[in-house]
Amino acid sequence: MLRFLATIGAVFLGFLAATGRLAVFAGMTLATAFTPPFYLRAILREMVNIGYFSLPVVGLTAIFTGMVLALQSYTGFSRFAAEGAVATVVVLSVTRELGPVITGLMVAGRVGAAMAAEIGTMRVTDQIDALTTLSTDPLRYLVLPRLVAGLITLPMLVLVADIIGVFGGYLVGVYRLGFNPEAYLNRTHQYLETTDVVSGLVKAAVFGFIVALMGCYHGYYSRGGAQGVGRATTYAVVSASVMILMFNYVITAAFFGH
Partner 1 sequence: MASGDQGRFLMTAAAIPKISVRGLRKSFGRKRVLDGLDIDCANGESLVIIGGSGTGKSVLVKCILGLLHPEAGSIRIDGVETVGLRRTAREHLLQKFGMLFQGSALFDSLSVWENVAFGLVQGRGMERQAAQEIALAKLAAVGLGPEVGELRPAELSGGMQKRVALARAIAAEPEIIFFDEPTTGLDPIMADVINTLIIKFVREVGVTAVSITHDMVSACKIADRIAMLHQGRIVWHGPTAEIDHSGNPFVDQFINGRADGPIKMEIRAA
Shortest Cβ distance from residue 136 to partner 1 (Å)? 5
Round to whole Å and give the CA distance between 154 and 174.
30
Interface with partner 1 includes 227 (CB under 8 A)?
A: no
Rule CB under 8 A: choose which of 134, 178, 182, 194 binds partner 1: 134
Please identify, among the stretches 3-11, 74-82, 129-137, 213-221, the one whose residues bind partner 1 according to the rule CB under 8 A.
129-137
The CA-atom distances, in angstroms, between 194 and each of 188, 189, 190 are 13, 10, 12
Residues near 2 by beta carbon (within 8 Å), at least 6 away in sequence: none
Helix-helix angle 225-256:99-107, to 10 degrees: 170
Interface with partner 1 includes 64 (CB under 8 A)?
A: no
Round to whole Å and give the CA distance between 246 and 244.
5
Subset of 3-42 contacting partner 1 (CB under 8 A): 37
What's the chain's length in residues? 258
Interface with partner 1 includes 226 (CB under 8 A)?
A: no
Q: How many residues bind partner 1 (CB under 8 A)?
A: 14
User: Would you say 75 or 125 has its CB closer to partner 1?
Assistant: 125
Rule CB under 8 A: choose which of 2, 133, 194, 258 binds partner 1: 133
Whether the Cβ atoms of residue 94 and residue 69 lie closer than 8 Å to each other: yes
Shortest Cβ distance from residue 227 to partner 1 (Å)? 15
Residues near 121 by beta carbon (within 8 Å), at least 6 away in sequence: 127, 219, 229
Shortest Cβ distance from residue 226 to partner 1 (Å)? 14
Please identify, among the stretches 16-24, 132-140, 144-152, 168-176, the one whose residues bind partner 1 according to the rule CB under 8 A.
132-140
Round to whole Å and give the CA distance between 3 and 232.
29
Shortest Cβ distance from residue 127 to partner 1 (Å)? 5
User: Would you say 125 or 195 has its CB closer to partner 1?
Assistant: 125
Binding mask 136-175 for partner 1 (x = CB under 8 A): xx---x----------------------------------
| 149 burial type by CB count under 10 A (0-12 exposed, 13-18 middle, 19+ buried) | buried
* Nearest in space to 228 (alpha carbons), one of 111, 114, 116, 110: 116
Shortest Cβ distance from residue 142 to partner 1 (Å)? 10
Interface with partner 1 includes 97 (CB under 8 A)?
A: no
- Dihedral of CA atoms 26, 117, 61, 51 in degrees, nearest 10, equals 60
Site residues, partner 1 (CB under 8 A): 37, 122, 125-127, 129-130, 132-137, 141
